[in-house]
């Protein structure tokens, strides 16, 4: 990217502009080379100005949420990376509906919903994702539900900087998929419909799910959640485990010994280590069960 472009971005953006920012600081895997430019917009106008500028200069960008489902290349990204978590992390309840900014974190929303005796988001209490990332990926937890089930409206900004609102009927969600993945739009806010329920029950359900995750997932080590999608009717974790994949290692990346569908960063893993380990695991499961696993985490390069 030309120096002049970087200078102009720094001059007009009101939020933070960082150059050569190590993306490992922004991903739960703690892996990823530098972003040539990383912008944390201050408000919607700031974001809109930036998108317009990038569009007019045909510069590509990458949106970053909470970075919990990502593997970023060791070479980093020679794009403008726009980090959304500090922007739009507000949460507003109205009756059984809740409107949230795309930077709000799922566990925070789930907890506030529980305090109001609203059910539906219990599954999300242990998913560290931002709303924007969760909606794009239709994040969920097993058969406990996924965020797409609750959505009534989504407000986005288009790659040309225009604001747009989608109604439920225009949106399609399936397992870890949404039609928002095809559009290069940035999610700004989301409205969810919840159900009135007994406060105590909602709270207890959340505690139970968080406890189960602590007991079964390697949450104390850097990771990016489930690495593979569950094949229909089965579980990637079970298949990898039974094929003998637990503990398999490439450099600093290891298949968790606690949950086989997690890869943990032992401290010095490169993105290449993780990619090589993913290949090994896929081959192992294919040789053993004849099942081709599909990755859930997103690789950015």
Size of the site for ligand EPU (CB under 6 A): 16
Considering only residues 248, 260, 264, 284, which one is a binding residue for ligand EPU as defined by CB under 6 A?
260
Which of 142, 196 has the CB closer to ligand EPU?
Answer: 142
Q: For residues 166 and 98, give the distance between their C-alpha atoms in angstroms, rounded to a whole number.
A: 16
Q: For residues 283 and 173, give the distance between their C-alpha atoms in angstroms, rounded to a whole number.
A: 29
Q: List phi, psi (to 5°) of 104.
A: -70, 150
Listed residue (76, 71, 73) closest to 22, CA to CA: 76
User: Does 176 qualify as catalytic in the annotation?
Assistant: yes
End-to-end, the C-alpha distance of the chain in Å comes to 16
Considering only residues 141, 219, 291, 298, which one is a binding residue for ligand EPU as defined by CB under 6 A?
141
User: Does 213 qualify as catalytic in the annotation?
Assistant: no
Q: Would you call 94 helix, strand, or coil by DSSP?
A: strand
CB of 66 to ligand EPU, least distance (A): 12
Please report, as residue ranges, which positions from 270 to 299 form the binding site for ligand EPU (by CB under 6 A). Answer: 296
Considering only residues 235, 282, 288, 300, which one is a binding residue for ligand EPU as defined by CB under 6 A?
235
User: Does 25 qualify as catalytic in the annotation?
Assistant: no
Please, which residues have CB within 8 angstroms of residue 219's CB and are 6 or more apart in sequence?
213
Which of 36, 146 has the CB closer to ligand EPU?
Answer: 146
Contact (Cβ atoms closer than 8 angstroms) between residue 101 and residue 89: yes
Which of 34, 225 has the CB closer to ligand EPU?
Answer: 225
As annotated, the active-site residues are 176, 226, 296
Q: What is the binding site for ligand EPU (CB under 6 A)?
A: 141-142, 213, 216, 225-226, 229-230, 235, 237-238, 241, 259-261, 296
């Amino acid at each position: 990217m030309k120096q002049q472009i970087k200078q102009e971005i720094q001059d007009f953006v009101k939020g933070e502009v960082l150059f050569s920012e190590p993306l490992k600081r922004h991903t739960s895997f703690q892996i990823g080379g530098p972003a040539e430019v990383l912008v944390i917009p201050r408000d919607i106008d700031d974001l809109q100005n930036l998108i317009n500028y990038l569009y007019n200069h045909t510069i590509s960008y990458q949106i970053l949420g909470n970075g919990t489902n990502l593997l970023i290349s060791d070479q980093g990204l020679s794009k403008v990376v726009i980090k959304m978590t500090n922007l739009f992390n507000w949460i507003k309840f109205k009756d059984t509906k809740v409107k949230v900014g795309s930077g709000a974190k799922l566990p925070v929303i789930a907890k506030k919903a529980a305090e109001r005796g609203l059910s539906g988001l219990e599954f999300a209490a242990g998913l560290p994702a931002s709303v924007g990332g969760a909606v794009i990926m239709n994040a969920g937890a097993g058969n406990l539900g996924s965020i797409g089930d609750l959505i009534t409206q989504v407000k986005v900004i288009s790659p040309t900087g225009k604001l747009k609102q989608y109604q439920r009927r225009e949106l399609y969600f399936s397992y870890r998929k949404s039609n928002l993945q095809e559009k290069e739009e940035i999610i700004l806010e989301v409205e969810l419909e919840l159900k009135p329920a007994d406060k105590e029950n909602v709270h207890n359900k959340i505690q139970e799910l968080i406890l189960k995750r602590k007991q079964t997932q390697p949450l104390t080590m850097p990771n990016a959640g489930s690495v593979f999608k569950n094949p229909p009717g089965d579980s990637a974790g079970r298949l990898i485990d039974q094929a003998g994949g637990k503990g398999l290692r490439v450099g600093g990346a290891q298949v968790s010994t606690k949950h086989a569908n997690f890869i943990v960063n032992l401290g010095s893993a490169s993105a290449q280590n993780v990619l090589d380990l993913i290949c090994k695991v896929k081959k192992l499961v294919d040789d053993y069960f004849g099942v081709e696993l599909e990755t859930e985490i997103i690789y950015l390069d």
